[in-house]
Chains A and B, each alone.
Chain A
Amino acid sequence: MDVPREPVLRYDSVPMDKGRLENPGEVRSAEDATLVEWANAGNAPAFEELVRRYRNEVFALSYHFVRQRDTAWDISQEVFIKAYRSLRWFRGDAGFKTWLMRIAANQCKDHLKKRRLKTASLDERIQTEMPSSIERPDEALEARELGQAIERAVAALPAKHQVAFVLREYEGLSYDEMARVMQCSPGTVMSRLHHARKKLQHALVSMGVMEDV
């Protein structure tokens, strides 16, 4: 059975009443909801602007899960492909960014489950830049070791706890924002964060990089 192909957006198929290319600046300055409406109507520049605006948020979130740039790149592209195909169902009750982050979080969770992501060895770690405030090499090494231990421990968390921890500690989302992304209540967000932190502390104590108080 042939699967009907999605209509392809082209610059020359832009509807005449939405997002004409006479004023590209109009696209750059338009609000998200307007861009979604235009993109849904087949306006390629509008969709590209949405991708341009939020590519880094999606990429950063993906990277925090998979810790590999190439994989995060692929996941991010999948997120926007999925977002494009789901534009018609975007209701606008949450912001477009929140909606996009929800897709990204789910995509990352699916990727973790499928690939059974294992923590990369220390040798495969991307070399991190030393924070400028740390000047002594031993302090830098200690901080790096702690950070790498945290990364290993985070990667070993259950998916839903990992999502909560990454959204809070790496993306800096509020509990309300996290609740919208994770499609749960703020109380559930608190619970998942608590369990994530508790498991991380246990793991770090067992690794010997954190004191057991």
Chain B
Amino acid sequence: MAWITWKRVIEAGLDGEPEYVERAKALVAFHPECAAHNRRLVALRAGVAAVAREETIGDAQFPAFMAGVWEGIEAPQRSRPGFWAAFSLVAAALVAATAMGYILLGGPEPVNATEVEYVGTDLEDATVDWYNSSNGVVTIQVNMQDDDL
């Protein structure tokens, strides 16, 4: 961490930041690694300066430039392409939220059969009985003659 910190001090000093200039000078003067880092930064800056060119819009070009600005200002603004994407996203989110709500909050009441209302059979000579056990289980018994399958 200290390595990164002193490098940044040197960089800030080279950039002319007032609170770092003197500290950077001291580091560069007394530490060879700091001096090496400073040399690399200076070389980098010199390379930038070697090809830097001042790009300008001259006075003669300004009317054309300004005309283009006015043209852009006066052009009708296109509908934002992101609007429909956002709309679709909201619609999809609503559908998903509705589905989740349906699932989590429950749909129709679940079938809950705990009581026998009627028992019967179409088998001839067969009888049907039912009874509730103590734990709430309903048992249905079909009685047939011995020689019936």
Query: Which A residues lie at the B interface, using CB under 8 A?
Result: 1, 3, 5-6, 8-9, 48, 51-52, 55-56, 59-60, 63, 69, 72-73, 76-78, 80-81, 84-85, 126, 128-129, 131, 143-144, 146-151, 168-170, 174-175, 190-191, 193-194, 197, 200-201, 204, 209-210, 213
Contact A151 B57 (CB under 8 A): no
Total chain B interface residues with beta-carbon distance under 8 A: 41
Main secondary structure of the interface of A (DSSP, over half): helix
- What are the 5 A-B residue pairs with the smallest beta carbon separation, nearest first? A147-B51, A143-B50, A146-B47, A81-B72, A63-B55
B31 beta carbon closer than 8 Å to chain A: no
Contact A201 B55 (CB under 8 A): no
Q: Given that A143-B50, A201-B40 are known contacts, is A80 also in contact with B69, CB under 8 Å in the complex?
A: yes
Question: CA A200 – CA B52 in complex, angstroms?
Answer: 16
Question: Which residues of A lie under 8 Å from residue B76 when comparing CB positions?
Answer: 3, 5
B43-82 near A? 1/0 per residue, CB < 8 Å: 1111111111111110000100110111011101111000
Contact B40 A3 (CB under 8 A): no
Closest to A212 in B: B40
Contact B57 A76 (CB under 8 A): yes
Closest to A82 in B: B72
Query: Which B residues lie at the A interface, using CB under 8 A?
Result: 4, 7-8, 11-12, 15-17, 36-37, 39-41, 43-57, 62, 65-66, 68-70, 72-74, 76-79
CB distance from A28 to the nearest CB of B (A): 13
Closest to A165 in B: B48
Question: Which residues of A lie under 8 Å from residue B11 when comparing CB positions?
Answer: 190, 193-194, 197
Contact A175 B53 (CB under 8 A): no
Question: CA A3 – CA B43 in complex, angstroms?
Answer: 53
CB distance from A212 to the nearest CB of B (A): 9
Contact B4 A194 (CB under 8 A): yes
Which of B12, B44, B52, B78 has a CB less than 8 Å from the CB of A190?
Answer: B12
Closest to A173 in B: B15
Contact B56 A60 (CB under 8 A): yes
Beyond A52-B66, A144-B51, 15 extra complex contacts between A and B, CB < 8 Å: A5-B76, A5-B77, A8-B74, A56-B55, A56-B57, A63-B55, A69-B55, A73-B65, A77-B68, A80-B69, A128-B51, A143-B50, A170-B48, A210-B40, A213-B40
